[in-house]
Amino acid sequence: MSNGNGEQKGFNPAEANVRMWQEFMSHAASANIPFSMPQNLSPENMKVMRSAMFKAIGSYWEEYMRSPEFLEMTKKSMNQMVEMKKQFNKVITDIHHELHSATQSDISDLVTTIGHAEEKFHESFHQISQRLDAMSDRLDKLENLATPKPPTPKTATKQAKKTSKRTKKTTRS
Amino acid sequence: MQAFDSSTFTQFWQDWSNTQQSLMTESMTQMKRMSQLPFLAHKAQRVKKGATPSEVIYSQDRLKVLHYKSDSPPKYKTPLVFVFALVNRPYILDILPNKSVVKHFVDAGFDTYLVDWGVPTPSDNRLSFESYVDGYLVDIQKAVEDATNTEQINILGYCMGGTMTSMYTALYPEKVKNLILLAAGIDFETREGLLNLWNDAENFDVDAFVDAYGNCPAHFLQSIFLMLKPVANLLEKPINFIENMGNDKFVDEYMTMETWLNDNIPVPGEIYREYVKYLYQQNRLVNDQMKIGDRTVHLKNITCPILNLMASKDDLVPASQSERFNDLVGSTDRESIRFPTGHIGLAVGSRTHKELWPKACEWLAKRCDA
């Protein structure tokens, strides 16, 4: 059985069996049915007893399914199941290949190849897109350098002031 | 030899008569139950999958986004999207008119959508967390935004859907207005649940399993779920059913639930491998080590209001697996509710529909603009 910290101890069937009966008795006792009187054995009371029994068996099973013995057994049967499936797959693949038909693994390989090709395409497109962006940026910069900037309102007034000063100077002289 | 005692004879006669009467009553009840047998197959075929009328507004590969129709226009601007797990089908959230989570929100005035991931085929075995979180969920958000002309959505993620939507919200915090998690696995440190123990690296070689099977088979998942509570699932439930075979309402609800429980679907292999390996075995999400593509998921990035709903009797995702989420996010507005029910009870329990869902609707309504 596993405790809360994940530590496990072996499953003792005798102890677990005793615990199961103890649990059953405690559930039955908590139902408060006086079993000494035969007339109290009504279907409803018997259902309560049955439910108590199932609860106790359920706890017993849960304890067993947490035990290292059960986990080891499950692991072994799972490994065998996987091994059998592998062998079965191999036989089926061989038969298909003998009949020159496609198998699940062939289709799977094809899907992988297509997936890889798709990834490469994506990467290439991404690279092309990045290069196009960079080229577009450079072109924008070049365009900005090539075309003279139209005067902004501020520079226009400055230039106007300068020219007016110059004209004033020339008139004075 | 003892003399014949008349009182003993009377007592014996009375006991014998009582026994005969009990036997007769029990036989009649049994016959009444058995008379229902020919109708069971018909009832099983009649089970409807989904109670609220809906239309498909978006589909991609196997997935579909359903929009639930309402008689009145939505009261709230931000739409609500339900994101279900990849295990089982999402109609559990809208299974019966009196047990529909979806209906609560539709009736409360939310423009409601649901993601049905569909049934994966063997060729989908390469779908990973990246494909779902950084692929499909992004496209779904865009589709809902286009349909509603909004820039944000409210999300309700159930179970594994909650895990995925928490990753999505951490990667795209600006896209999510409010996040509701319903029994979502976040912190896998706990060993409270059997699944956590069985999925330990020393007990389960998930790589070998996925390599051999491709997708995780539906029957494997079904048997694991049955094994979590073998006595309840294999003994108590059938006995309970036999005893209530004469009760039409019980049989209808039982058939609906069983149809859903047995409607298992495979889980794409890669995401199953990542779920077991990175979350159950390495607990990467809470340690800021979970990678989606080349980005790391930081739960601290989640800043929207959070409502974390947990079931205290959950044997699939124990409450301890979800409750730490509120401490890990960056949100200041965060609330959690532990409800005394099981994992499926959160969606179909009578008490949850009376108490929990009206409360959840109210919580969301307070945080949405009309």
Q: For chain B, which residues make up each domain, given as ranges?
A: 54-366
Would you say B66 and B113 are in contact if contact means Cβ atoms under 8 Å apart?
yes
pLDDT at site B119: 95
B175's tokens? 């896209």
> Which one of B191, B209, B229 has the shortest CB-CB distance to A82?
B209
pLDDT at site B290: 96
Is residue A171 scored above 50 in pLDDT?
no
Interval A72-93 mean pLDDT: 93
Would you say A71 and B197 are in contact if contact means Cβ atoms under 8 Å apart?
yes
Q: Which amino acid is at B30?
A: Q
Would you say B100 and B68 are in contact if contact means Cβ atoms under 8 Å apart?
no
pLDDT at site A2: 45
Interchain contact, A6 vs B191, CB within 8 Å = yes
Same domain, A61 and A113: no
Q: Which of B179, B133, B160 is nearest to B328 (CA)?
A: B179
Distances in Å between the alpha carbon of B304 and those of A64, B105, B169, B181, B284? Answer: 43, 19, 9, 12, 22
Residue with structure tokens 């094809």?
A110
Interchain contact, B231 vs A66, CB within 8 Å = no
Does the residue A59 lie in any domain? Answer: yes
Tally the domains of chain A. 2
Does the residue A149 lie in any domain? Answer: no
* Residues paired with residue B55 on neighbouring β-strands, in sequence order: B67
> Which residues of chain A make contact with B197, given a CB cutoff of 8 A?
2, 66, 71
Is residue A3 scored above 60 in pLDDT?
no
Is residue A5 scored above 90 in pLDDT?
no
- CATH superfamily, region B54-366: Alpha/Beta hydrolase fold, catalytic domain (3.40.50.1820)
pLDDT at site A138: 94
A contact residues 27-66, partner B, Cβ 8 Å cutoff? 50-51, 54, 57-58, 61-62, 65-66
> Which residues of chain A make contact with B205, given a CB cutoff of 8 A?
78-79, 82
Q: List, in sequence order, the alpha helices (H) in chain B.
A: 6-34, 37-45, 101-107, 129-131, 137-148, 160-171, 194-198, 206-213, 218-228, 230-231, 237-243, 248-261, 269-274, 319-322, 325-328, 345-348, 350-351, 357-366
Interchain contact, B212 vs A86, CB within 8 Å = yes
Give residue A1's pLDDT band: very low, low, confident or very high (50, 70, 90): very low
Does the residue A150 lie in any domain? Answer: no
Q: Which domain holds residue A33?
A: 13-83
pLDDT at site B86: 95
Interchain contact, A82 vs B229, CB within 8 Å = no
Same domain, A106 and A78: no
> CA B347 to CA A3: how far, in whole Å?
31
* Residues paired with residue B311 on neighbouring β-strands, in sequence order: B339
> Which one of B123, B198, B235 has the shortest CB-CB distance to A54?
B235
B139's tokens? 């496209």
Same domain, A24 and A71: yes
Same domain, A77 and A17: yes
Residue B326 backbone class (left: φ over 0; alpha: ψ -120 to 50; beta: rest): alpha
> Which one of A4, A54, A79 has the shortest CB-CB distance to B231?
A54
B71's tokens? 């008689």
Is residue A159 scored above 70 in pLDDT?
no
> CA B125 to CA B324: how far, in whole Å?
31
- Cα angle A95, A100, A105 (rounded to 5 degrees) comes to 65
Q: Which of B139, B140, B155, B159 is nearest to B87 (CA)?
A: B159
Does the residue A114 lie in any domain? Answer: yes
Q: What are phi and psi of B96, to 5 degrees?
A: -140, 150
Best of B14, B61, B236 to disrupt the A interface by mutation (most A CBs within 10 Å)? Answer: B236
**Alpha-carbon gap: B59 to the closest alpha carbon of chain A (Å):** 22
Same domain, A24 and A77: yes
pLDDT at site A168: 52
Residues 6 or more apart whose Cβ sits within 8 Å of residue A82:
B205, B208, B209, B212, B213
Does the residue A147 lie in any domain? Answer: no
Residue with structure tokens 């209001």?
B305
Give residue A9's pLDDT band: very low, low, confident or very high (50, 70, 90): low
Does the residue A157 lie in any domain? Answer: no
B129's tokens? 């967390």
Tell me how crowded residue A100 is: count the other CB atoms within 10 A of its CB. Answer: 6
> CA B306 to CA B298: how far, in whole Å?
16
pLDDT at site A173: 40
> CA A160 to CA A157: how far, in whole Å?
5
Interval A5-22 mean pLDDT: 73
Is residue A170 scored above 50 in pLDDT?
no
pLDDT at site A150: 65
Catalytically active residues of B, by annotation: 159, 314, 343
> Which residues of chain A make contact with B194, given a CB cutoff of 8 A?
62, 65-66
Sort strands B63-68 and B54-60 into parallel, antiparallel or unpaired.
Answer: antiparallel
Residue B352 backbone class (left: φ over 0; alpha: ψ -120 to 50; beta: rest): alpha
Is residue A151 scored above 90 in pLDDT?
no
Does the residue A168 lie in any domain? Answer: no
Is residue A35 scored above 70 in pLDDT?
no
* Residues paired with residue B59 on neighbouring β-strands, in sequence order: B64
- Cα angle B175, B176, B179 (rounded to 5 degrees) comes to 165
> Which residues of chain A make contact with B229, given a CB cutoff of 8 A?
58
Q: What are phi and psi of B226, to 5 degrees?
A: -65, -35
pLDDT in tens, chain B (370 residues): 455 677 888 888 888 888 888 788 888 888 887 887 778 877 777 777 788 999 999 999 999 999 999 988 999 999 999 999 999 899 999 998 889 999 999 999 999 999 999 999 988 988 999 999 999 999 999 999 999 999 999 999 999 999 999 999 999 999 999 999 999 999 999 888 899 999 999 999 999 999 999 999 999 999 999 999 999 999 999 999 888 888 888 888 888 888 888 889 999 999 999 999 999 999 999 999 999 999 999 999 999 999 999 999 999 999 999 999 999 999 999 999 999 999 999 999 999 999 999 999 999 999 998 7
Specify the higher pLDDT residue, A147 or B220.
Answer: B220
pLDDT at site B215: 93
Would you say B295 and B167 are in contact if contact means Cβ atoms under 8 Å apart?
no
Burial B95-111 (b: 16+ CB within 10 A, else e): bbeebbbbbbbbbbbbb
> Which one of A2, A89, A112 has the shortest CB-CB distance to B212?
A89
* Residues paired with residue B153 on neighbouring β-strands, in sequence order: B176
Residues 6 or more apart whose Cβ sits within 8 Å of residue B91:
B49, B50, B260
